[in-house]
């Protein structure tokens, strides 16, 4: 990593596990076992039952609100901020904890806020984002929602249509600009640091493979093996909260 000219970092739900945010794999076994992400995070689930989908997102927003960035988010914030041009972070997470770690770091009086270039690129959107299901209206909505009735669900102030979470659902395309920039970075990176992802969801899981195909080295931080482990130059089978500060600081 010290000799790498450009490093792409890809994170997944596992980096937020030590902040208390259940991962999706755990969800299937545990927390959201009554809600299966693949069944709820889809346009058809929202069309069929917007109330149930918004209730799930409301619960996740309220849970994430009480969580804080952990040592892994903070180590990554320090490390990417030190060289934002050559250390680019893409996350599959929608919990916003990378941004909060950066804001905590850069809100320190002498630092004057997080420069746009140092912000993580979110591949799958923002849990606190709300957008219109038909027109282009979109906003960041931090206050608690009231999903108790269809009327109290968020609606578009411009066209009156029901609003939806500003996240990318299964079967939906990612933002083409962000996806293009991710592949450009993957083509140029000589190291891909992959943290806390089961590497099952596409197209995000392709990024480390593009780096490996270009001759770059993949470093995986994950207590469990994944489909990516065989292609990784190094696997660090330990929690991100202890590995990243040791690796990056």
What residues are annotated to the active site?
A: 124
Beta carbon nearer to ligand BV8, 168 or 189: 168
Binding string, residues 139-178; x marks residues near Zn ion by CB under 5 A: -----------------x-xx-x-----------------
Beta carbon nearer to ligand BV8, 137 or 170: 170
Q: What is the DSSP letter of 147?
A: T
Does 18 sit near ligand BV8 (CB under 6 A)?
yes
- Binding-site partner at residue 28 among Zn ion, ligand BV8, none, CB < 5 to 8 Å by type: none
Give CA–CA dist 38/26, Å, rounded: 13
Does 171 sit near ligand BV8 (CB under 6 A)?
yes
Give CA–CA dist 248/79, Å, rounded: 6
Among 24, 46, 54, 128, binds ligand BV8 (CB under 6 A): 24
CB 73 within 8 A of CB 104: no
Q: Which long-range contacts (C-beta less than 8 Å, at least 24 apart) are formed by 197-202?
A: 197/10, 197/11, 197/12, 197/13, 197/14, 197/92, 197/222, 197/226, 197/228, 198/12, 198/14, 198/24, 198/25, 198/224, 198/226, 199/12, 199/226, 199/227, 199/228, 200/226, 200/227, 201/92
Stretch of 16-24, 135-143, 210-218, 235-243 contacting Zn ion, by CB under 5 A = 135-143
CB 59 within 8 A of CB 40: no
Does 23 sit near ligand BV8 (CB under 6 A)?
yes
CB of 158 to ligand BV8, least distance (A): 24
Beta carbon nearer to Zn ion, 94 or 156: 156
Residue showing tokens 């069929």: 48
CB of 135 to ligand BV8, least distance (A): 21
Give CA–CA dist 84/32, Å, rounded: 36
Does 223 sit near ligand BV8 (CB under 6 A)?
yes
- Of residues 203-222, those binding ligand BV8 (CB under 6 A): 203-204, 221-222
3-state secondary structure of 109: coil
CB 220 within 8 A of CB 234: yes
Among 31, 32, 137, 170, binds Zn ion (CB under 5 A): 137
Give CA–CA dist 153/183, Å, rounded: 36
CB 197 within 8 A of CB 25: no
- Of residues 56-95, those binding ligand BV8 (CB under 6 A): 92, 94
Residues that bind ligand BV8 (CB under 6 A): 12-14, 17-18, 23-25, 37-38, 41, 92, 94, 124, 167-173, 196-198, 200-204, 221-224, 226, 239-241
Residues that bind Zn ion (CB under 5 A): 132, 135, 137, 156, 158-159, 161
């Amino acid at each position: 990593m010290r000799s790498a000219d450009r490093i792409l970092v890809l994170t997944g739900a596992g980096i937020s596990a030590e902040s208390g945010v259940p991962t999706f794999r755990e969800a299937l076994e545990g927390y959201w076992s009554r809600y299966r992400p693949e069944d709820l995070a889809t346009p058809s689930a929202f069309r069929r039952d917007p109330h149930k989908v918004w209730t799930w997102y409301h619960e996740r927003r309220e849970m994430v609100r009480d969580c804080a960035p952990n040592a892994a988010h903070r180590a990554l914030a320090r490390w990417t901020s030190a060289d934002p041009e050559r250390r680019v972070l893409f996350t599959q997470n929608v919990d916003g904890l990378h941004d909060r770690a950066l804001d905590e770091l850069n809100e320190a009086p002498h630092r004057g806020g997080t420069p746009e270039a140092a912000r993580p690129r979110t591949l799958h959107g923002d849990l606190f984002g709300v957008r219109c299901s038909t027109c282009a209206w979109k906003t960041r909505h931090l206050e608690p929602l009231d999903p108790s009735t269809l009327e109290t669900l968020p609606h578009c102030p411009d066209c009156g249509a029901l609003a939806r979470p500003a996240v990318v659902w299964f079967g939906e395309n990612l933002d083409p600009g962000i996806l293009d920039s991710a592949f450009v970075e993957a083509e140029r990176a000589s190291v891909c640091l992959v943290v806390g992802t089961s590497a099952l969801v596409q197209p995000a899981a392709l990024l480390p493979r593009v780096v490996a195909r270009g001759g770059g080295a993949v470093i995986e931080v994950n207590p469990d093996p994944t489909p990516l482990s065989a292609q990784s130059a190094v696997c660090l089978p330990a929690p991100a909260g202890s590995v990243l500060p040791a690796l990056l600081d």
